[in-house]
Amino acid sequence: MRPEDALLGLLHLERGRIVADYLKYTVRTAVLFGLLFIVSDSFSQSADKGGLQFAEENESIFTIPSLENPVHLDGIMDDSEWGFGPKIRLPFEVDPGNNSSAPVDTFCRIAFDDAYLYFGCVASDPNPELIRVFITDRDGLDGHDKIVLFLDPFDDSRRAMTFGVNPLGVQQDGTIDEQRSDYFDSSWDGIWDSFGRITERGFVIEAAVPFKTLRFPNTSDPQSWRFFIERTWPRSAEVTTRTGPIVRSNPCVLCQASHVNGVIATNAGINLELRPTLTSGRTDERDDNLSSGLTAGDLRREFGLDLRWNPTSDITLSGTLNPDFSQVEADAAQLDINNNSPFDSTKSARSFWRMLISSKLLTTSFSLERSTILRGESM
């Protein structure tokens, strides 16, 4: 054999080995990527599906009892008085934890009679002396120990009413709207009763909400209402526990609520609210002689009326007669250096203007600054 032929044969063998190694590497790479794709795809599908399933599987349904006698709000959760209804526990820490086990035990009960919806809770605390609470204005429970009931009687996951109570019985209420960016509105004030009591093991709260205060479907059949309950436990961190877990990837909070079944609510009332107002004023004048006193002017009186009516469970009519526009303007900023709340113009304004302010019907996409307008500059 000639040396040239031997060298050519060696080159062919080396080329074949290189091609074989390349094919082997390509096959291994393809198999590895295929396995990674299958695993990641199945994991993502199970995670997405599992998140929804997690919410659905943990959605609890409670059948609440109908009471023959009203509940006495005395801070004593007597089983017989509450109709031996189911204990609704708050086992999840949803903030700052992510659906971890709650650090404190809490159980609640919900019941109803012909006129009221009742809810009460027993909140255990390892150190009751550290309970953060004091007498304050209504809706001023930021930083307090408290328990809040979120109630969606229409079961449509759009709007809910909130009823919160601190260990001294101070109330906090409002509405939440899943379709609004600011979500929570504290301007709504319902008429309801509450009681709170600090015990050696924590505290107890009880509340009675008249059906006349609530809005719900007009039917005599048993209803199913969405709800969830949250407890705020402020210590080194402000911990929030809840009746059910929260799937963070789901922006709808009410969609993940539990249900109370068997509610029979027929005593809705006429849902008519009238608020008469009286505004009086007088202008006193002084002449050019500064030494003389003021001359009293005539006393002016202005009568007005705010009206709010719910002709049906899903329609609200609000109106005003002879409005006092001076109550629309917001007050100047005030410093708050203690526990006394500054004057809140939204709360003190007449109900019609409070409705407009909270619903943001008068908002605009243009930025209108008072200082710019007064200077006569262009916007």
Q: What proportion of the chain, given as a percentage, has pLDDT over 70? A: 68
> Token digits for 282?
């007088």
Mean pLDDT (the chain) is: 79
Length of the chain: 379
pLDDT of 46: 38
DSSP for residue 296: P
Distance CA 192, CA 158 (A): 23
Residue 56, amino acid: E
Distance CA 154, CA 115 (A): 18
272-282 and 258-263 as β-strands: parallel, antiparallel, unpaired? unpaired
Bridge partners of 177, per DSSP, are: 159
Q: Tell me the mean pLDDT in the region 323-345.
A: 55
pLDDT above 80 for 343: no
- Domains and their CATH numbers in the chain: 55-263 (2.60.40.1190), 272-283+297-375 (no CATH)
> Token digits for 2?
């000639």
Residues 127-156 pLDDT 10s: 999 999 999 999 999 999 999 999 999 999
pLDDT above 90 for 161: yes
Q: Tell me the mean pLDDT in the region 231-239.
A: 96
pLDDT above 90 for 198: yes
Identify the band that residue 370 occupies on the pLDDT scale cut at 50, 70 and 90: very low
258-263 and 61-63 as β-strands: parallel, antiparallel, unpaired? parallel
If one counts every other C-beta atom within 10 angstroms of the C-beta of residue 160, the result is: 24
> Token digits for 266?
């027929």
pLDDT of 317: 84
Count the alpha carbons within 13 Å of 363 in the hemisphere toward its beta carbon: 7
Residues 9-23 pLDDT 10s: 554 555 556 545 555
Distance CA 55, CA 58 (A): 5
Distance CA 104, CA 234 (A): 12
Higher pLDDT residue, 56 or 29?
29
pLDDT above 80 for 30: no
Burial of 32 (0-12, 13-18, 19+ CB in 10 A): exposed
Query: 36: phi > 0 → left, psi -120 to 50 → alpha, else beta; which?
Result: alpha
> Token digits for 203?
């505290």
Question: Shortest CA distance to 59 belongs to which of 296, 256, 268?
Answer: 256
263 contact partners, CB below 8 Å, separation of at least 6 = 64, 112, 117, 153, 216, 222, 223, 224, 225
Instruction: Kindly provide the b/e burial profile for residues 124-153, where b requires at least 16 CB atoms within 10 angstroms of the residue's own CB.
Output: ebeebeebebeebeebbbeebbbbbbbbbb
